[in-house]
């Protein structure tokens, strides 16, 4: 899968933001799975780059998940598909292609802008 670096708006977190994911089975949250730990490395209105110590089978199947994280004291949730994986020394990096919801995309853009303003003033 090609990296979407040509997207007009992508923000990299330093340090990454801690979050969780819950796998989806047939587009519904898995009742038997536990939430997995991940870190949001960067974000755009339509996707995420995350890292995790967990090795997900992205090559064998389209792993869909609900990803939850907090930004600006607000709990955010994005639904997406893990589309690529890269092994790293501390775990794995993943590209997540998120469901395109115009309202959610506006919310993500607004939260990123607030995050940038907060971090610049600190």
Tokens 């090609």 belong to residue:
2
Q: Which of the four pLDDT bands, split at 50, 70 and 90, describes residue 28? A: low
pLDDT digits (tens, 9 = 90+) for 56-95: 877 666 788 999 999 999 999 999 999 899 999 989 999 9
**Averaged pLDDT score across all residues of the chain:** 85
pLDDT at residue 6 is higher than 60: no
| Residue 101 CB coordination number (10 Å) | 14
Q: Is residue 1 part of a domain?
A: no
Which runs of consecutive H residues, i.e. helices, occur in the chain?
102-121
Burial of residue 69 (number of CB atoms within 10 Å: 0-12, 13-18, 19+)? buried
Residue 3 pLDDT: 46
Residue 56 pLDDT: 83
Q: Is residue 61 part of a domain?
A: yes
Residue 8 pLDDT: 61
The total of structural domains in the chain comes to 1
Phi–psi pair at 103, nearest 5 degrees: -65, -45
Residue 57 pLDDT: 77
**Domain CATH for 26:** 2.40.10.220
Residue 13 bridge partners (DSSP)? none
Q: Is residue 41 part of a domain?
A: yes
Residue 30 pLDDT: 60
Residue 11 pLDDT: 92
118 in helix, strand or coil?
helix
Distances in Å between the Cα of 64 and the Cα atoms of 73, 89, 100, 109, 111 are 25, 24, 14, 22, 23
Q: Is residue 87 part of a domain?
A: yes
């Amino acid at each position: 899968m090609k990296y979407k670096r040509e997207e007009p708006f992508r923000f990299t977190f330093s340090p990454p933001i801690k979050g969780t994911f819950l796998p989806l089975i047939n587009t519904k949250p898995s009742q038997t799975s536990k939430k997995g730990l991940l870190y949001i490395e960067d974000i755009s209105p339509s996707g995420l780059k995350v890292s995790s110590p967990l090795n997900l089978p992205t090559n064998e199947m389209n792993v869909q998940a609900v990803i939850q994280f907090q930004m600006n004291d607000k709990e955010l949730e994005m639904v997406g598909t893990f589309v690529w994986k890269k092994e790293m020394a501390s775990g794995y990096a993943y590209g997540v292609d998120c469901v395109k919801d115009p309202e959610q995309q506006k919310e993500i853009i607004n939260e990123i802008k607030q995050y940038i303003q907060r971090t610049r003033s600190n």
